[in-house]
Structure 1
Amino acid sequence: MEPFVTAINMPIAALTLGLGVVKARAVRWQREWTLRLTASVLIIAGMIFLLATPAVYRAIGNTAGSPNICALLVPVATLTCVAHAHALTQLWHEDRRRPAVLRRTATRWCPVYGGAVVTMATLYFDASLGPAAPLRFAAAYAHVPQVVAFHFVYWAALITTVIVAVRECASLSIPGRPRLVDALRRAIVWFAIALGFDLVNVGLTAIALLGSKAGPHRLEGVAQSAWLATIASCIAANVALASMVLRSRRAERRDRRTLLALHDLVVKRDPGVKADPLIVLAPRWSLWTGFDTSLELNSLMAEIHDGCGRLNLWWSPLPAAAVFRLAPQWTSGGPPGEEWDLKAAQDAATVLYAVQARDAAQPAVVPRLPRLPGADIEPHADRQHLVQTARLLTHPVVREAVELAHQAQTVADSSAK
């Protein structure tokens, strides 16, 4: 069994740690807690498989002077991984992302995880243990009371938190974003399967532990086979995370294509420069950017915000007001299409008007808006807002609002003369 487990564990550990490092590096460009927790879950999961590999298990035990220290480190790392996954499910709920709610959740659950870890460590170091027993620790030391108590504490904490995490996944709801919920739920099915295999591991380990109390070294094969459930759990979890990553990459590429129209509209290049100026989005590829599309997307968004800011001399209130008046009339009182967003439409009209005024070398408008209508959008919703703004640039309501704004401005200028 040990050679087979080693052949499985090492590639899984390398792959999972590699993915975790890639996601951790992406945190530098996209500082979101969901990304940080995803990276931590992958890194910790990779460490679990590395620590459970028999050769590594023995090597760390010999170095630490405690042959079975990995029998403590693996459950502690598992609980830490589940805790991070639990926190990730909280962030998937829009109404639970607020700092006050997250603090209350942490205050309620940190004693559960922390208490379990401290109790397990106390029981482990109080136990009288012998040689290393990788993959069969529960069966080999079933006669030691501290080991039995150790496992019951671990199981109680793991089962409780797994059930809570699965319930959080099942109740996922993001108002106004049903497509995102559907996409997440497909990944969550695999995530729930992964947590279910963790419970299978608990069941098999319990059989080995309690069965071995009837005699020494009985059911050690069952204890070793319990690790197969953990392997299945890791594969299911990786499928869940990989599907989310791939879906995220597809969404990022799609949003980038959509945002290019808005970017090219607001970022005006100096006509006196023959070659394209050196900008953030200059074509490039590297080992990291080839796998991480978020960096280029973030650069694109930053340039759009900068370009919109440079148009502030022509931020007229007229286009936004015209959108507000036209939208209900255009749809006979109903919302103007599935993708409609009032603030995004007002931003689109304001920016489109400003670009046309800039290109026509018109004087600065008076009065002008101190900021764009969508300037109060929360940071985590900024990308969605910009994408909606880009999509609405060609919407009939936006186009008509810009025309009406130009006409009103012309009338106002004539009256002023």
Structure 2
Amino acid sequence: MRTGALVSERSVTAACLLVASFNFIIACWKAAALRRERTSTLALTVMSFFVSALVYATASPAVYRGIGKQVGQPSGATLPIYAGIVICYGAIHLSTLFWDPSGSFRDGVRIRRHASAWAGGYAAAIISMVASFLLADLPDHAADPMSFNTELVEGEPFVFAFLALFFLSLSCATLGTARLAWRSNPKSARLRHAVRWLSFSMVITFGYVLFNVPAVVLASLGNHRLDEMGLFGSGMGILGAFTVSYGMSGAAIRAWLSERRDIKSIHPLWNLVVAGVDRKLAFGPSSRIVFRMTNVRFILHRRVIEILDGMRVLRAWASPTVTEIVEKHVEANSAGLSPELREALVTAAVLREAAGQLAEARRRASLEGRAQPLPPGTPAVPLPGDGKAASAERARLLLVARHLEHPLVLSALKRVKAAG
């Protein structure tokens, strides 16, 4: 097998199946997002990842040969693989056209026309590839998916036409996407990093064409001195698939991981002001693990809303005298701390004291046979940090949650207890 000239067949199989598995997982994740947000860009992205997973699973040498045996042509799997690659990268190109925030296609009608033209071009290329492949006189000997381009093109014009159409389509898709991604300028730093990486990954994938074209041209003339360069180009294609996957999903993955961390970080505050106050404030939990894993942003927003509702309940148990004692204590011992952190420390101490007052009132109500505790007679007062913009609440509550056990909070609670 020619695959072994540079790398072992086992390594190629492992790499292909790894790419296929990774892209299948991302495709399922994106499909879950598509159920919530139906957009052309997301639909094309889901399709590209599903097709990519099938392509790389089929391209693994063992699967490739198995399909060849089933269809009676050792190289038969090459056609769906190469057509799938065109579909995959063509879909990415079209999704970038629809998503492009640079403003070059501001007119929605023009965007659709431009995308339709490219889609028609890719469809025509695939149809022509199918015709060329079926007309080719392919040999019956065992095929090697990594060296098909250079092994079977010699003296076979239809194979050459098939590969020429494939290289042209892949060049248009990769370079077109790279150009659109590079010139886009999203406001989010995370998205800017993602589109720059996508552009870079498309250039890497174009390396497949760059290394294979001269090798195929020479091989078609009977000169196989550059065959190993074609094999190196195939490696560039696999590397490009990894980098494309990161470029199209890296920002979302980092956001997902960040939101998962925030859910974990905010949980102590949720326990204090929701679970410890009234579990009826919490929305009904979903029993589906898939929902909890794919909808972390919704769950985090839900936690924030529940915490804010619990804090409103605790207002009735918060004393202005306690707030004043805590504020003075924190102010006197917080040299060098930012105003946001000082406010978070005061909020944490006041909430802990109010939750403690509510727990004590419930204990007394239980002893006296009353169903509900009686709040103190003092009017409810605003809690520290009330009135923040909704967009700032997540960051504020995270800061409070992370400092519930801060030494200044604990010493402030001791000061309140000493004051009686």
TM-score computed with the length of structure 1 as normaliser: 0.61
Which residue matches 2:161? 149
Alignment CA distance shift 1:206-1:93 (3 Å):
closer
Cα deviation for residue 115 of structure 1 reads: 1.0
1:117 aligns with 2:126: yes
1:38 aligns with 2:41: no
AA of the residue aligned to 2:78: A
Which residue matches 1:4? 11
1:299-378 equivalent positions in 2, closer than 5 A: none
In structure 1, C-alpha distance between the alignment counterparts of 2:39 and 2:106, rounded to whole Å: 11
1:170 aligns with 2:182: yes
Which residue matches 2:228? 221
Which residue matches 1:63? 70
Cα deviation for residue 290 of structure 1 reads: 2.7
Alignment CA distance shift 1:134-1:253 (3 Å):
closer
Whose Rg is larger? 2
Cα deviation for residue 136 of structure 1 reads: 1.1
AA of the residue aligned to 1:222: M
Alignment CA distance shift 1:36-1:388 (3 Å):
farther
Aligned to 2:279, the other structure's residue is in SS state coil
Which residue matches 1:86? 93
Query: Which residue, out of 131, 135, 144, partners 1:133?
Result: 144
Aligned to 1:290, the other structure's residue is in SS state helix
1:383-394 equivalent positions in 2, closer than 5 A: 389-391=390-392
1:277 aligns with 2:313: no
Aligned to 2:292, the other structure's residue is in SS state coil
TM-score computed with the length of structure 2 as normaliser: 0.61
Cα deviation for residue 222 of structure 1 reads: 3.1
Query: What are the Cα deviations for residues 39-78 of structure 1, in whole angstroms up to 9, with x where unaligned?
Result: 3232222222112111111111222233222222222111
In structure 2, C-alpha distance between the alignment counterparts of 1:116 and 1:21, rounded to whole Å: 28
In structure 2, C-alpha distance between the alignment counterparts of 1:392 and 1:249, rounded to whole Å: 19
Cα deviation for residue 24 of structure 1 reads: 1.4
Which residue matches 2:218? 211
Alignment CA distance shift 1:110-1:290 (3 Å):
closer
In structure 1, C-alpha distance between the alignment counterparts of 2:88 and 2:10, rounded to whole Å: 26
Alignment CA distance shift 1:111-1:256 (3 Å):
same
Structure 2: runs of 5 or more not aligned: 268-273, 310-378, 380-387, 395-420
Query: What are the Cα deviations for residues 178-222 of structure 1, in whole angstroms up to 9, with x where unaligned?
Result: 2x1x32221222212221122211122223212223437654433
Indicate conservation of the 8 Å contact 1:29/1:294, yes or no.
no
Identity score, percent: 23
In structure 1, C-alpha distance between the alignment counterparts of 2:284 and 2:206, rounded to whole Å: 48
In structure 2, C-alpha distance between the alignment counterparts of 1:249 and 1:57, rounded to whole Å: 35
Cα deviation for residue 173 of structure 1 reads: 3.8
1:233-244 equivalent positions in 2, closer than 5 A: 233-244=240-251
Cα deviation for residue 122 of structure 1 reads: 0.6
Alignment CA distance shift 1:160-1:242 (3 Å):
closer
Cα deviation for residue 294 of structure 1 reads: 4.0
Alignment CA distance shift 1:20-1:97 (3 Å):
farther
Query: What are the Cα deviations for residues 131-178 of structure 1, in whole angstroms up to 9, with x where unaligned?
Result: 33321111111220011111111222221232221221122145xxx2
Structure 1: runs of 5 or more not aligned: 261-268, 308-359, 361-386, 394-417
In structure 2, C-alpha distance between the alignment counterparts of 1:235 and 1:68, rounded to whole Å: 25
Alignment CA distance shift 1:113-1:300 (3 Å):
farther
Indicate conservation of the 8 Å contact 2:129/2:162, yes or no.
yes
RMSD (Å), alpha carbons: 3.9
Aligned to 1:67, the other structure's residue is in SS state coil
Which residue matches 2:412? none
Alignment CA distance shift 1:102-1:254 (3 Å):
farther
Alignment CA distance shift 1:161-1:231 (3 Å):
closer
Alignment CA distance shift 1:253-1:72 (3 Å):
same
AA of the residue aligned to 1:193: F
Which residue matches 2:402? none
In structure 1, C-alpha distance between the alignment counterparts of 2:205 and 2:72, rounded to whole Å: 29
Which residue matches 2:334? none
* Count of residue pairs brought into register by the alignment: 301
1:100 aligns with 2:103: no
In structure 1, C-alpha distance between the alignment counterparts of 2:45 and 2:303, rounded to whole Å: 24
Alignment CA distance shift 1:294-1:39 (3 Å):
farther
